[in-house]
Amino acid sequence: MDSREEPGAASAAAGEDEEEAEAEKGPASSDSDSDNEAGASGETEMDFLRNLLSRTLGLGSEKPEKVLDELTLDGVSRFMLSERCKKVVCMVGAGISTAAGIPDFRSPGTGLYANLQQYNLPYPEAIFEISYFKQHPEPFFALARELYPGQFKPTVCHYFMRLLKEKGMLLRCYTQNIDTLERVAGLDQDDLVEAHGTFFTSHCIHSGCKKAYTLEWMKEKIFSSLIPKCEKCQSVVKPDIVFFGENLPSRFFSLMQSDFRNVDLLIIMGTSLQVQPFASLVSRVPTNTPRLLINKEKTGESDPFMSLMGYGCGMDFDSEKAYRDVAWLGDCDEGCLALAELLGWKTELEELVEKEHAAIDAKSGGASASHPLTKEQKEKPSPKKEKPPDSKE
């Protein structure tokens, strides 16, 4: 399933990525998560406030330096091919999985929340609220049956990150998705921070039990139209995806400290950057680190109020002060193909997609959804400028 940036578990899969729930309702915006974030860094309360004000007001000794020769996709590609770019962090949301057939959260008419009437919910987000799930697990598992991991193939975006890994450039992928497609594409657990959890493992929800279960065990129960019950205590078993009302994984808070201090390039794909604290990661990179957004619309731009709260993204694409942020607007797969072509990787990427999709078909007997590269995608040259589409991610 695909974690659309919603509840942290809400990838329509059930896998931030184009997708999400109101920040104030999600687990990320809770006071406890803010405390976890501060505590994980080992900062004292005064240090945390000092650093927060420094980032918010632009104070400190680090002076912005323009490291891109131009604020375009071409400029980013030249930087990636230079000796200065060795560590890349990717931040991804539901938008990178829509090409696989998994809906995002909020697109009018096609988004997950627009198509939940059949479950008779009090409101759409209830299907991913832990309190509602404990009382009424049936709607979630009915949806899970439709959008279960293993029925979809990774997209061009997923395999572009695989190429980054193979070329020794991928420091980490931070994903809001729970569809497990990053793993299917060849990223290992060490390569990933599944910020909103994953369908890969499951646990009994009883606090005194917490027995673990595998993906295959959960799949068997779901496709038997059974509510998964713990074999030990008979409580409901829930996939390890983050529902509204639950904390994010500790791995998110521990790794972000080192990863975002040491990154040379941040690539953000298929996310509206509306769910916290995931969205705030954008502001954690050094002031000299370039940031590339590949998305259907510009997002993550400065919001003074959210900055004061410590959640500002601070992206600046168009002002006179812009010096490091680049937005490529359009379909995420096409954006990755355009960047791959500029890097000289396009043929390699296309061949990787075709080979891996063929392997998945052979293993599954062709049962999984197939979304091969179209002739137009293969032949389309790198666009110099993209106009933003009418619909959101």
Overall pTM > 0.95:
no
Q: Which residue has the higher pLDDT, 112 or 216?
A: 216
> Cα(371)–Cα(366) distance, rounded to whole angstroms?
12
Per the domain annotation, does 1 fall within a domain? no
- The answer to whether residues 32 and 247 touch, using CB atoms and an 8 Å cutoff, is yes
**Structural domain includes residue 305:** no
CA-based radius of gyration for the chain: 20
Judge whether 196 counts as a catalytic residue.
yes
Residues 42 and 193: their CA atoms lie apart, in Å, by 20
CATH code of 126's domain? 3.30.1600.10
To the question of whether residue 271 is assigned a binding role by annotation, the answer is yes
Q: Is 179 annotated as a binding residue?
A: yes
CB atoms within 10 A of CB 229: 14
Is 219 part of a structural domain of the chain? Answer: yes
Instruction: Please state, as a whole number, how many other Cβ atoms lie within 10 Å of the Cβ of residue 84.
Output: 12
Residue 334's contacts (CB-CB under 8 Å, 6 or more residues apart) are 377, 380, 383
391 is annotated as contributing to ligand binding:
no
pLDDT digits (tens, 9 = 90+) for 31-43: 344 444 444 444 4
Query: How many domains are contained in the chain?
Result: 1
Catalytic residue among 158, 196, 357, 371: 196
Beta strands 237-241 and 197-204, pairing class:
antiparallel
Q: Going by DSSP bridges, is the β-strand pair 170-175/88-92 parallel, antiparallel, or unpaired?
A: parallel
Residue-averaged pLDDT of the chain: 79
Residues 362-382: b if buried by 16+ CB within 10 A, e if exposed: eeeeeebeebebeeebeeeeb
Q: What is the pLDDT of residues 316-352, one digit of tens each?
A: 999 888 999 999 999 999 999 999 999 999 999 999 9
302 is a domain residue: no
Residue 173 falls inside a structural domain: no
> Going by DSSP bridges, is the β-strand pair 197-204/212-214 parallel, antiparallel, or unpaired?
antiparallel
The answer to whether 230 is a known ligand-binding residue is yes
Strand 212-214 to 325-329 pairing: unpaired
Q: Which of 224-228, 283-287, 382-386 has the lowest mean pLDDT?
A: 382-386
Q: Considering the domain boundaries, does residue 108 fall inside one?
A: yes
pLDDT digits (tens, 9 = 90+) for 161-210: 999 999 999 999 999 998 889 999 999 999 999 999 888 899 999 999 99
Question: Annotation-wise, does 162 bind a ligand?
Answer: no
83 has binding-site annotation = no
Domain that holds residue 121: 103-151+198-241
